[in-house]
Amino acid sequence: MKKIYELVLGVVRKPFFIFFVMSLHAIIIFTPVAIAENIKRTGISMRVPAQAFDPIDPLRGHYLMFQASVRAVKPPEICKGECSEGYPFSAWLVPDEEGNAKISWSEPQEEGIQAFGQPDWRMTGLDEIPSAWMYVIPFNRYYVSEKNIEDLEKKLREAPSDKAFVTLKVKGKRAIVTSFDILE
Amino acid sequence: MVSNFMDERSFEIHLRALEEKGLLLPAEIERIRRRAQGEEPRAWLYFILLGVGITLVGGGLILLIASQWDSFSFITRIVVACIPWLIASVISVWVWKQKNEDWAWSEFTSLAWILTIGVALILITQTYQLQGDAGWLLWWWALAGWIAVVALPSATGALINSFISVHAVLQLISGIRPESGLLVTLPLVLLGFIFLIARFSSLAPWRQGVVVFAMSIASIFIGVSSTQGDPQSSAHLPYWILLIGMTSIMTIIVGTYGSRFIYTLRTLFSILSGILLLGTTQLFQSQTGTWFPQTMQWTWQTIPNLIIQLVIVLSPSIVYLFNLKTWDTWKIMVSLLPVLSWIGWGVGGILGAIVLNVSVIGLAGVGILHGYCTRTLSTLNAGVILFIGLCLLRFFDYEWSFLARGIAFITAGVCFLTLNVYTRRFFNGKLV
């Protein structure tokens, strides 16, 4: 154990080590930049309906909090093992011909992002079996300048459920948010 | 107060060793002993005023940059995001080459390095509107942080990295969002905060264990009650218990050893805990709607939450009143400041905000002055922690614009720096 410690200590004290550490840090910091730039330039656009979401997050900053999801009313025919009330816990959202998100119950070969199911209680009572599930994407915030955030939050809360959309760029199984639109 | 870095026994052992080796004369030994017993508190006052002043000015500058953030291009944002990391890296190289044996330089530079990597990652995430749950970000941050800790050993850095790593693991295994993960650190907050109670460290280890155990149980109640309304919250309970167990062990280890290194870590641990405490109480407010008794929705789950809040609010008053040698109106009024701040919080609105902020500033000021006058480092630390906590809350206060907050922070910082200069002049020549 002592030998291993001394060996590590010997490497740590070599002059190149600190520059090696800086290089690793640079790689860690700039990898997300490279990934995001690649998705932004070569990804496919996909629109997902969004609703206002009450954030339990006092440190949310100037972010518009939302919940973007696609609703599944009918139970899927394919339900591999892990299901609840006939619905699988997760699904994939893929872009259709017009760039709108649609559900795929199997992992797509091309572009698509994973969404997680939760019961839609709007149409049913809390003690009943839900009649629909929402497949929610793991994006819930959009940075907005401090001048516009209040106005946009208000608009989102007042907008009908089919008038607000978050637009993503999808490349493979990764995505970034590119815009948030509320139709008048 | 003996020293900032070691307890009385270790101090005496070191002093005697120097005396036996003949490195110090008896007169010098006596002088060192006198100074260690609290005859040089002014240096601490300068340090506090200078530190708070620089922190406020730095925070103000960050807020001013944030106010112009929307006018920056993509490239400028990335460059600005990386500047703090680059500065920290350059300082780290210098420290690694020149000051590697100096624990204070190594400790704080490593910490700054870790935090600036986090800042860069967070700002890049924001600039590109990357994935909101940011689980991967925590992993990358923890990895970069551990590499920094290996290069520049730092106990505080390791502690911060442990938090980040634990959050990343929780995020992976149970899907807890990062901000909910902040709630999970609550036990650490409460456990760390008890070290501010001066008598805790003098308790027998088994009594310390009982206090820590009681706080852990209270933390579980808070955890359960503050996640009410979330149907999936009960699934997080095992992780809470696991984490509370881990933090309890860590806290006992940190709290019961008495070396110079651990003493410093304990102080930093308490400061961090104080900051998190205020942040978490703010989080409670949004979790439960309100925490003011008149408007709170009463359920069995909110009762332990309220009891703990009352304990947090009233404990400074009780400790203060308990320690009073003489009773007078002014001192009793000071002891009521925590309750006043609680009422201000509950009332809300501009009047409530003024009451809250003024009473917390008053309480922090009393803590600093009382600690300074009585040479009690723990009271002085408590005052500083309270003030830093308040600054942190106002830093993230989105009711005010970045510009207004930036100007307010810089103004307050300049006031503290000016006070530092005047205090030095006032005591000039009187310092031992």
For B98-119, what is each residue's pLDDT tens digit?
A: 776 777 778 788 888 998 999 8
Q: Which residues of B touch A22 (CB under 8 A)?
A: 89, 92-93
Find out whether A58 and A180 touch, Cβ atoms under 8 Å: no
- Are A111 and A95 in contact by the 8 Å Cβ rule? The answer is yes
Q: In angstroms, rounded to a whole number, what is the distance separating the alpha carbons of residues A37 and A25?
A: 19
Q: Is the pLDDT of residue B180 over 70?
A: no
Which of B65, B82, B124, B130 should one mutate to test binding to chain A, selecting the residue with the greatest count of A CBs within 10 A? B130
Q: Which residue of A has its CA nearest to B90?
A: A22
Contact A56 B70 (CB under 8 A): no
Element (DSSP H or E) covering residue A65: strand A63-72
The pLDDT of residue B293: 42
Cβ-based neighbours of A61, under 8 Å, separated by 6 or more: A143, B396, B398
Q: Which residues of B touch A140 (CB under 8 A)?
A: 132-133
Assess contact for B131 and A175: CB atoms under 8 A. Answer: yes
Best residue in B71, B94, B129 to probe A by mutation, most A CBs within 10 Å?
B129
Give the mean model confidence (pLDDT) for residues B387-416. Answer: 83
Residue B168's SS3 state is helix
**Mean pLDDT rounded to a whole number for chain A:** 80
ipTM exceeding 0.90? Answer: no
Residues 6+ apart with CB under 8 A from A127: none
pLDDT at residue B315 tops 80: no
Amino acid letter, B366: V
Backbone phi, psi, residue A63, to 5°: -115, 140
Residues B334/B366, Cβ–Cβ less than 8 Å: yes
Closest by Cβ to A18, choosing from B85, B93, B398 = B93
Residues in chain A: 184
| B150 to A12: CB separation less than 8 angstroms, yes or no | yes
Q: Please indicate whether residue B305 or residue B31 has the higher confidence score (pLDDT).
A: B31
The DSSP code for A14 is S
B269 is written with which tokens?
């641990």
User: How confident is residue B275, by pLDDT bands cut at 50, 70 and 90?
Assistant: very low
Cβ-proximal residues to A123 (8 Å cutoff; 6+ apart), any chain = A130, A131, A132
A138 interaction partners in chain B (CB closer than 8 Å): 131-133
- Mean pLDDT within A143-171: 85
Q: Indicate the angle between helix axes B349-374 and B377-395, nearest 10 degrees.
A: 150
Out of B120-129, B167-176, B371-380, give the one with best mean pLDDT: B120-129
Interface of chain B against chain A, CB under 8 Å?
A: 67, 69-70, 78, 82, 85, 89, 92-93, 96-97, 117, 120-121, 124-126, 128-133, 137, 140, 143-144, 147-148, 150-151, 179-180, 182, 279, 282-283, 285-287, 396, 398, 401-402
C-beta atoms of B125 and A146 within 8 A: no
Q: Is the pLDDT of residue B1 over 50?
A: no
Within 10 A of B299 (CB to CB), how many other CB atoms are there?
11
Give the pair of three-digit tokens for residue A20. 């090696």
Tell me the pLDDT band of A47, cut-offs 50, 70 and 90: very high
User: Residue A137's closest CA among A171, A111, A112?
Assistant: A112
Q: How many CA atoms lie within 13 A of B99 on its CB side?
A: 14
Q: How high is the pLDDT of residue B225?
A: 47
Mean pLDDT of the A58-82 span = 71
CA distance A97 to chain B (A): 24
pLDDT digits (tens, 9 = 90+) for B47-102: 778 888 888 898 899 889 888 888 888 889 999 999 999 999 999 888 888 776 77
Pick the more confident residue, B405 or B169: B405
Minimum mean pLDDT range among A121-130, B219-228, B290-299: B290-299
Q: How far is CA B389 from CA A166, B278, B361, B384, B409, in A?
A: 36, 6, 10, 8, 14
Calpha distance A162→A36 (Å, rounded): 28
Q: Which helix (H) or strand (E) holds B152?
A: none
- Which residues of chain A are within 8 Å of residue B401 when distances are taken between CB atoms? 146
* Per-residue tokens: A1: 């154990």
Tally A–B CB contacts below 8 A.
98
HSE, side-chain direction, 13 A CA sphere, residue B340: 17
Shortest CA gap B219–chain A (Å): 20
Lowest mean pLDDT among A117-131, B266-280, B374-388: B266-280
β-pair partners for A95: A101
The residues of A whose Cβ lies within 8 A of any Cβ of B are: 8, 12, 17-19, 21-22, 24-25, 28-29, 31-33, 36, 40, 56-62, 138-143, 145-147, 175-178
